[in-house]
Homo-oligomer: A and B are copies of this chain.
């Protein structure tokens, strides 16, 4: 059977994981090449994974005819440009979240995708996590009745080094972290978020304010259908990596996640203690693999991707509204319901 030729741009922690998954665990795909502006890193990953081609730029990699699809795992701010370039070269695309870090960039990217008639998937991998999928199945079956409350939180163990903020290549908290929860809110509630209100804090890291970023946030949500919700993010929870969601409905509730533990407890006269999980690549290892498998499968069978560019745009608009609320000191902000007809194939969700 024909295999899907894949190139990956950006092989930092996230891109390297995609590369490993595709190289080793997705027999239907062939990892043709990697590209990274840090040429040494690209060469190293290529060597480690025993593939022949690495490039110092996306453009060089896109010139290859044996690449059918591109995985984009660059810093956030380069997503939109990379999408446009890949689309221009006629490649299908799996792009890490967020779609872009501004509305203008996102629109430009989606227009390029539409123009080229290629397909675009956004990397909301939680939709492929077994626990979240089990939750969605229950909700779709009507088991919790009408959803009333959506709660979600995402806490990182360790704040990124200050250099990551100085380099200014990733979106602030709402674009980089909370956007996962914004997407879950839409997906699990089967509804659109129409308004948000955000409080944020830099209390324990005041210097983040200089970079337009925050340590933690609490975002209240209003849904079109009357439900409400709240999403919390925290980049410095210290105790571990902690992602949980709760959906409470008229007939029942679904909880996803718990504070993940290594299944070893030590018990003594002073109580019991557990080791906590500390990294998203561990928690969501299965999800990342299932995501890329699903992408490859859909591309090979000429089906639309499961999480379209439109989904990416919708989540981005919530992040934009949340940032705006934050900048306004907590005033509620409507989520812009922009026209997305322009998106064409790229914006077509199969859901």
Contacts and interface: CB of A to CB of B under 8 A. Distances in A.
Interface string A130-145: 1110110010000111
Interface residues of A, number: 84
A228 B200 contact: yes
Contacts of A269: 157, 238-239, 251-252
Nearest to A138: B266
B252 A267 contact: yes
Interface string A276-287: 100000000000
A81 interface: no
Interface string A322-343: 0000000111100000000000
A63 interface: no
Q: Please give the count of copies of this chain that the complex contains.
A: 4
Interface string A231-273: 0101011111000000011111111111111111111111111
14 contacts: A131-B264, A149-B201, A151-B153, A197-B220, A204-B250, A238-B268, A239-B253, A240-B267, A254-B267, A255-B259, A256-B264, A256-B265, A258-B263, A273-B273
Interface of A: 24-25, 27, 48, 50, 130-132, 134-135, 138, 143-146, 148-149, 151, 153, 155, 157, 195, 197-204, 215-222, 225-230, 232, 234, 236-240, 248-276, 329-332
